Amino acid sequence: MTLATLGWLIAGVCVVAFVALWFTVSCRELSAKQKSLDSISEQVQIHRRLCMQERGGENDAAAQKVLENKLMVYQEVERGYKALLKKPMNRIPSFVMRFHTAEKGRRI
């Protein structure tokens, strides 16, 4: 094995390690944000059902206020997720690992 071949081998291992670390960190960030988006989405759906049940009742105003607060939190988390997807370091890993923005049909 020549010295040049050994240099190429070390460079190749370093590039593979860098890409693996890059994708791992991006995946961790994106999946954490996506889990929080899914969680708040479920909470909004639950509160929407509760608000429909309380419609016209004595707790109607309180249920509506809680639903509005949950919707505001959802929009904030969604904005953060979209911003994370648009970061230059996350664009390629998010495309390869199929992290996408919230679908319009699924939107709350």
Residue 9 confidence (pLDDT) above 70:
yes
What is the sign of the dihedral through the CA atoms of 64, 66, 68 and 74? negative
To the nearest 10 degrees (0 to 180), the angle between helices 60-86 and 88-96 is 100
Residue 105 confidence (pLDDT) above 50:
no
Residue 17 confidence (pLDDT) above 80:
yes
Range from 1-5, 9-13, 75-79 carrying the lowest mean pLDDT: 1-5
Indicate the domain borders of the chain.
3-96
Cα 84 to Cα 87: distance, rounded to the nearest angstrom: 5
Tokens for 89, please give them: 């370091």
Q: Model confidence over 73-87: pLDDT tens digits?
A: 999 999 999 999 999
